[in-house]
Amino acid sequence: MLRGAQDGAMMTPTIGPAFLSGGSPMASLKRLLWFSLLLATVVVGHSLKPVYGQTAEAKPKATSSITGRVMIGEKPAPGVLVAVNLTNTQTVVAQVTSDAEGKYRISGLSAGQLNVSAVAPTYVLPANPMYGQGRVVNLSADETVEGIDFKLTRGGVITGRIVDADGKPLIEERITLTPVDDKGEPARVLASRPANFGMYSTDDRGIYRIYGLAAARYKVSVGDDGRSATLRGGYYPKTYYGNTAEAAKASIVDLTEGAEVKNIDITVGGRSRTYTVTGRIIDADTNQPLPGVDFSFGALQTNQNQTYVSGSYSPNTPTNSKGEFRLEGVAPGRYAIMTNSNSMFNQTPNQRPKVYSDPLSFEVTDGDIADLEVKAQRGLSISGVVVTDGITDKKALAMLSRSVVAGFGEPTQNSIQGLMNATTSPIAADGTFQLDGLRPGKVQINISGFTSAESRGITISRIVHERALQNRRIDLAPGQSISGVRVYLTYGSGVVRGQVKVEGGALPADAMMFVSVQRQNDPNGVSSAQVDSRGRFIAQGIPTGTYEVVLQIISFGSNNLPRTLPRTQRQTVNVADDSESEVLFTLDLTPKEGP
């Protein structure tokens, strides 16, 4: 059983918000997106021996409602489907059709964070940079939210035909639309979510027709620049409308609201070759081949004198018995190959080598690449036990079989900046865990369950290894694994409910606001929430104590926010179990005189 700090009670750990808070707002957002992807890959399908026989819990009564109106311009839009789905998912929980006056009412909703969207494929609906089209609503029990309105604009159409140098149609080739500004440079805009992704591919005649587009200036292209880390049997070089390979010389399509622009035709050159890359992975200490090692490769890019791996692709085929790997279909370009953390993407323990490596760079020009040699180091481990800290809540204690300990290694300063080193471990029935395949450096420890609902209320109170660790980080020295780590968890049921009031103007459409509830003098959050379209937020599952509530304002077009507006605001609040504390933030956007 999991070890209790006082009474030996069993419990279930889980955490997510700690990894999402701390640092700059943009860093928090990157960690949020990365962490969501990791959990979707790692945790789904993971299963342990149950600690308790679990029974289905009674679901809360669905007693809330959302109302609003759909308009096209200044006229009501009858017959438009309005759907409600859980944020971060495509799960539709309710849907209705607007009436003759464009009005709708969706009843029987459960409390939670929801995304409400009008579904009209040939029209344009404003998009949220993180959640796509629609409006985010933090819905409380027995609440009726009014005024969730949608104003649609008529979408435009761009259509044309793609052929090769002999006039033959190119079939199932992907079309790319790039919005540009008045200078022809890529523009920061909120892209709408396509209703039909298939319309971006050519048909058997080489014809494409893309509809539901926002009025804007576009550059249209087809083909591949060959710089992405994928494997394919040849490709057509990227060609822009205007039949040029240079983006700066591309002709611009000026699309107005509801218009259709035809004959945006492109003729591409010959199909480019791809090549084969081979090599092997060896033990850096013994020079012996390492069979069964997972690996990936990524395209290299350089920014401000720092070279880094931009995305990665894994063939999902480990090295063979001689430690050899083979990549067929690599386009010309600069790349790096590296080992993967084996336990990062596997739901069950495996016997593959737990290793890591620095990225090994290579360049494909006009021929195959052979005899690459990746030197891998034996990975380090962190092991220990998860300990309850006075947790007695049965719901909190019932989640062990759905939880993992996660270790996130901070990137090291190398000539090539690689991807984050991350690994997970199941929590055994006695509370023990072991993270393998880690590289030396700082490793942040977190715990998480399947969903945020399951993890709600459980937080890490402290991590101890010989002494209390700061910011949940453990320093791994080269060649030295660590054991005896104790991860203490606590449970809370307090709520911080708040409102963000905007005065003297309006935030730009691409602005997002997040709230993190943090212990004082500790940047790791115990709970987090997104501010919805009404300026409201609810942070739940907070243990009794005094906290800082931190509001972070993020804009992808940072120049759109007033320079005098602080991007981060803080307030102190006292929280108690089974009670709510209220917070009000005021954002003053009134223009200030002076520079």
- DSSP-assigned letters across all residues of 17-38: HHHH-SS-HHHHHHHHHHHHHH
What CATH number should be reported for the domain whose range is 154-267?
2.60.40.1120
Tokens for 384?
């220990």
What number of other Cβ atoms are within 10 A of residue 472's Cβ? 22
Which has the closest alpha carbon to 397: 47, 3, 111? 3
Q: How far is CA 358 from CA 112, 337, 390, 583, in A?
A: 43, 9, 43, 46
Q: How would CATH label the architecture of 494-588?
A: Sandwich (2.60)
Please tell me the CATH superfamily of domain 64-141, with its number.
Immunoglobulins (2.60.40.10)
Give the angle subtended at the CA of 197 by the CAs of 554 and 301, to the nearest 5°.
55
Pairing of strands 545-555, 511-519: antiparallel
Give the angle subtended at the CA of 16 by the CAs of 404 and 421, to the nearest 5°.
65
Residues of the chain with pLDDT under 70: 1-61, 88-89, 127-132, 189-195, 226, 341-351, 400-401, 412-415, 419, 449-455, 556-560, 593-595
**Delimiting residues of CATH 2.60.40.1120 domain(s) in the chain:** 154-267
SS3 content of the chain, % helix, strand, coil (to 5): 10, 50, 45
Do 432 and 349 touch, CB atoms closer than 8 A? no
Q: How many helices (H) and strands (E) does the chain have?
A: 4, 46
Residue found by looking up tokens 């963000």 in the block: 500
SS3 of residue 556 by DSSP: coil
Residues 6+ apart with CB under 8 A from 167: none
Q: How far is CA 172 from CA 161, 202, 203, 205, in A?
A: 12, 5, 6, 10
Q: What backbone torsions phi and psi does residue 435 show, to the nearest 5 degrees?
A: -95, 125
Which has the closest alpha carbon to 213: 129, 162, 154, 151? 154
- Terminal-to-terminal C-alpha distance of the chain: 63
Which has the closest alpha carbon to 502: 528, 536, 530? 536
What number of other Cβ atoms are within 10 A of residue 447's Cβ? 26
Q: How far is CA 128 from CA 114, 116, 505, 512, in A?
A: 13, 11, 19, 8
SS3 of residue 559 by DSSP: helix
**Delimiting residues of CATH 2.60.40.10 domain(s) in the chain:** 64-141, 494-588
Handedness of CA 326, 359, 343, 286 (dihedral sign): positive
Burial 285-309 (b: 16+ CB within 10 A, else e): eeeebbbebbbbbbbbeeeeeebbb
Do 150 and 125 touch, CB atoms closer than 8 A? yes
What number of other Cβ atoms are within 10 A of residue 169's Cβ? 15
pLDDT of residue 433: 93
Tokens for 505?
């103007």
DSSP calls for 85-154: EETTS--EEEEEE--TTSEEEEEEEPSEEEEEEEE-TTEE--EETTTEESEEEEEPTT-EE----EEEEE
Q: What backbone torsions phi and psi does residue 487 show, to the nearest 5 degrees?
A: -105, 110
Residue 402 falls in which region: left (phi positive, over 0), alpha (psi -120 to 50) or beta: alpha
DSSP calls for 485-502: EEEEEEE--EEEEEEEEE
CA distance 2 to 401: 11
CA distance 419 to 359: 9
CA distance 57 to 103: 35
CA distance 11 to 388: 6
Indicate the helix (H) or strand (E) that contains 369: strand 369-378
pLDDT of residue 393: 78
Do 288 and 373 touch, CB atoms closer than 8 A? no
Burial 573-586 (b: 16+ CB within 10 A, else e): bebeeeeebebebe
